[in-house]
Amino acid sequence: MGKPVKNPSKTSLAPLVQVQGDALILSGELIFSTVPAFGEQTSKILKKEKPVMLDISGVQRIDSSGVAYLEELQLALQSRKAPKAKEPKPGIFLLKGINDNTRPVLETFSSLKLPDIPMAEHISFFEGIGSGLVNGFKAFGESLVIAADVFFWSFYGLGNRSGQRKGSFVQQGVALGVQALPIVALLSFIIGFILSLQSAVQLRNFGANIFIADLLAVTMVREMGPMLTAIIVAGRSGSAIASEIATMQVTEEIDALKMMAINPVRYVVVPKFHAISVVMPILVAFSILVGELGGLLIAIGYLDLSLESFVNRTIEILTLKDLVVSMAKSIWFAWVIVVIGSYYGFQVKGGAEGVGKATTASVVASIFAVILFDALFSLLYL
Amino acid sequence: MKNTQQTQPLISIKDLVAKYGDKTILDGITVDLLPNEITVILGGSGCGKTTLLKNILRLYEPYSGTLRYWGQDVLSMNEEEFSFVLKRIGMLFQNGALLNSISIYENVSIPLEQHTKLNREVIDRIIRVKLNLVKLSHAIHLFPSELSGGMKKRAALARALALDPEILFCDEPSAGLDPLTSAALDELLLDLKSQLNMSIVIVTHELASIHRIADKIIFLDSGKMLFYGTLQAAKEAGIPQIDTFFEVGKF
């Protein structure tokens, strides 16, 4: 077995461009690898000479790039003769020397008689804004329809579990809840720890060490617990919901369900809706507890508070309303995440690319919606 | 454009074995494919047709055996060396394998922009010609998601033809196409062979297509090559599996 040659392509004959009288004579091989060299030689010659004929009798081999180049050359030369002409008229500029080697390739790859390429639709700046707004309203309307569908079937499904796969509630509960526990715990602990550390430095300056418990309890219960958990769930489970439904959509699984007289929302979305409605408050409660734990470490280690005083103060400051609002928020955020994930999943267009776009859009929209609703809750239940 | 390598096999496969894990998919395939011929790989489902094609293209690395293109051992080539071989061949995948995020025009322009130093005007003309060859001039600015299955396949063929390959590989080009489109595609393949001396290797089940275009057939059964030769010779060889294949496929 011989040593492999680095470039096994056929060796091509060097390009040569000459002028004889009125004719521009090309010889060698007019192929992908030599066309740029032909172009350089020709442009140098055309600065001085004005040929009216192309002679390709010396061209041994030609391919589609050679044909395209010849046509571009003809166009350039033709425009020189008649500056207003946009396209060469075949036959006016003489191409001679076509032989049996080059004829079939020229015939196959000639673009002179091709129709013009239809221009890609150009959308102006204001048209873009207008159509963006229209599409936005349309999407909002469609998302409301899907939301209504999801809510209707989810509440209906509480009493009637037909149309749902057996065991899907538990399966979804594990996927959306149990598997999210470690990441929720880790991030909540870190957030609780950082919040307390940053606040502790300031509080100690004023001798208000005990208020670390107030600060952390209110922050974690009212805001950080529900919002942080919702953002994690939106990124983790919301994306999974969107990509699962989108994949089912592009692989026609959703159509297959419809053809089996199964409502895809009931079969695919409702178990997720039920499961997330149960696991989200648990995750939020867990997040608050672990966040408090992170703060407790600072309170004891940095501010010299006792465990008892920290816990007592925390219980004192929290009201039932705080806990109820926190849980209500968590359930509402969960529903928002499921509805947005489902909306983007069902609206997917295209193949794998569409699935990726739907997933990304769903995560961005979910996080945006979660923060927006959190702000609304804060305003309503300050 | 006479080929000076007429006597030399275009692709030479010797004792090729392909495995998925412990399972042997292809067992000792030995065949020389000749230039300027349309070779059809056929056989029942699961016999190893696509696996053979993908091994020939090194999309799957063969378990053992030798594989030569134009007399050169490609299995010992590194990626860079093999890329020079790849630039001389084109592949039409079963579902087109177009890049979904870009238009048909841009899909066809990829090999031209990546592997040539041609200027934009020349590239533009080549793309228009290649899309016209597959009758897709009207769809030049559309995206793959806006095309039907047959149109996707034709767009993918235009991309495979972008660099004027010397060998074109096609995995089930007619699958899912209506008879008229399928016949037009076969005509195009025959034109490419006769006008441009292109060699074509096709995996297909379509008997009508096989009858129209095959110069030679490779018949596989359970990973073994039962026959290589002309279609007529295959029918006269008296091999029961081949006889059954053509008999059952009659309509």
pLDDT (tens, 9 = 90+) of chain A, 382 residues, equals 334 444 444 555 677 888 888 788 888 888 998 999 888 888 888 888 878 788 888 888 899 999 999 888 888 877 765 545 555 454 446 677 888 888 888 888 888 877 776 666 778 888 899 999 998 899 889 889 999 999 999 988 888 777 777 888 899 999 998 999 999 999 999 999 999 999 998 888 888 888 999 999 999 999 999 999 999 999 999 999 999 999 998 888 988 888 888 889 999 999 999 999 999 999 999 999 999 999 999 999 988 899 999 999 999 999 999 999 999 999 999 999 999 999 999 988 877 778 999 999 999 999 999 999 999 988 887 6
Q: Inter-axis angle of helices A352-380 and A239-250, to 10 degrees?
A: 140
User: Which residue in chain A is spatially nearest to B192 when comparing CA positions?
Assistant: A108
The pLDDT value recorded for residue A192 is 93
Taking alpha carbons only, the member of B200, B6, B14 closest to residue B89 is B200
Instruction: Say yes or no for a CB contact (<8 Å) between B119 and A1.
Output: no
Cβ-based contacts of A72 with chain B (< 8 Å): 119, 121-122, 125
The total of other beta-carbon atoms located within 10 Å of residue A186's CB is 12
Q: Does B7 touch chain A (CB under 8 A)?
A: no
pLDDT of residue A354: 86
Asked if A111 has any chain B CB less than 8 Å from its own CB, the reply is yes
* Contact between chains at A108 and B196 (C-beta distance less than 8 A): yes
What is the predicted pLDDT for the residue at A191? 94
Chain A partners within 8 Å of B143 (Cβ): 350
Q: Which of A40, A111, A113, A349 to mutate to test the interface with B (most CBs of B within 10 A)?
A: A111
Catalogue all structural domains in chain A, each as residue range(s) with its CATH number.
11-109 (3.30.750.24), 142-380 (no CATH)
Which one-letter DSSP state was computed for residue B96? -
Q: CA distances (Å), A68 to each of A346, B123, B129, B136, in order?
A: 45, 8, 9, 18
Cβ-nearest to B164 among A4, A8, A64: A64
Q: Do A65 and B137 touch (CB under 8 A)?
A: no
Q: Residues 126..145 of B with a Cβ closer than 8 Å to A: which?
A: 126, 128-130, 132-133, 137-138, 140-141, 143-145
Cβ-based contacts of B145 with chain A (< 8 Å) = 349-351, 353-354
As for the ipTM of the complex, it is 0.82
Tokens of B51: 């696996």
0.95 surpassed by pTM:
no
- Mean pLDDT estimate for chain B: 88
Which residues touch B137 (CB under 8 Å, ≥6 apart)?
A114, A115, A117, B128, B131
* Closest chain A C-alpha to B100 CA, distance in angstroms: 6
Pick from B88, B122, B141: which is nearest to A65 by CB? Answer: B122
- Whole-number pLDDT of residue A93: 60
Residues of chain B with pLDDT under 50: 1-6
The set of residues, in sequence order, having a beta carbon less than 8 Å from that of A30 and lying 6+ positions away, is: A15, A38, A56, A59, A61, A62, A63, A65, A66, A69, A70
